[in-house]
Amino acid sequence: MPEAARPDEAAPPLAPDAAAARFRQACALDVAVRKPGNVSAASPGHGMDAGLFLASAREASVALFRPGAPVGARLEAAVAATLAVAGCNTNLGILLLCAPLARALEAVPAGAGPAALRAALIEVLATLDVDDARAAYRAIAAAHPGGLGRAEAQDVHEAPTVSLREAMRLAAARDRIALQYANGYADLFELGLPALAAALRADRVVDARAVQALYLALLAGFPDAHIVRKHGAATAQAVTAEAAPWLARARGGETLDADPAFAAWDESLKARGLNPGTSADLTVAALFMAGTSGIAILAVDP
């Protein structure tokens, strides 16, 4: 019989291929479920369909989980892989959020829980340097996200002179993903993961209702930064207000897909050109975090 592990022996980190599979599962859940305004299997939109997102996740995951690679290098290579297969930006926000998480997982015992992941992530963020920033800037420029605009300091169209975390701090007031780098992913640890955990089934398998509850908690929690950049704060705040009653119904245990008005809201957002892309990116990152820290089971084919 194999010798039992001593209680003081920490489990090894999640293997890179297993972490990559969790990432692909999170991305698959993202498009398997209707999330109003976003692309899903049931509802393409914004010139894209679900297959494009699945292909992007598959190709990007190789670079994203290369053992020992710096965060910036992971990000730049993953964006290049995405653009090669998709020909457009499908997942920049997801990759920006998941590259530090991928690096942090290398220092966390498998299934150790969100507190251990958060501690390792904060250490990764603290060690980001100017090389990470340069690689990230090249990746962002290549992806060319909508509504990027210009910044007074450390503009992404110019070579950065500060660390990636410092550059993100400068952008945090206008970009919710940049804010996660500045605040240690507080939105995800303190809002996203609790919202998902509260909506899980008894077997901890993530179903459509749980994904929708997570997404709506993020969308109703603060104006979506992607909508702010492209359409302004007032429009983003209006979408946040539209999400609030749906969140209340999801938290009450309702099956939102059973109401035709839910699909109608989805189509209305798309018809208005409103894509809550940042909320979707945060949703994917939260699903990935839940699946790698033992909170939830992402039972979909990666």
* Residue-averaged pLDDT of the chain: 92
- Output helix, strand, coil percentages for the chain, rounded to the nearest 5: 65, 5, 35
Count of other CB atoms within 10 angstroms of residue 1: 3
Region 272-280: mean pLDDT is 96
Task: Say which amino acid occupies 25.
Answer: Q
Fold of 16-292: Triphosphoribosyl-dephospho-CoA protein (1.10.4200)
Angle subtended by helix axes 277-292 and 16-32, to nearest 10: 140
Tell me the C-alpha distance between 59 and 61, whole Å. 6
Angle subtended by helix axes 114-127 and 277-292, to nearest 10: 120
Region 17-31: mean pLDDT is 97
Cross-strand pairs, 40: 43
Residues near 86 by beta carbon (within 8 Å), at least 6 away in sequence? 52, 55, 56
Instruction: Report whether 201 contacts 210 (CB < 8 A).
Output: yes
Look at residue 185 and tell me whether its pLDDT is greater than 90: yes
Tell me the C-alpha distance between 226 and 175, whole Å. 8
Q: pLDDT-based confidence at 156, cuts 50/70/90?
A: low
For the segment 254-264, what is each residue's pLDDT rounded down to a tens digit? Answer: 999 999 999 99
For the segment 49-71, what is each residue's pLDDT rounded down to a tens digit? Answer: 999 999 999 999 999 999 999 99
What phi and psi, each to the nearest 5 degrees, are found at residue 240? -60, -40
pLDDT of residue 157: 64
For the segment 234-251, what is each residue's pLDDT rounded down to a tens digit? Answer: 999 999 999 999 999 999
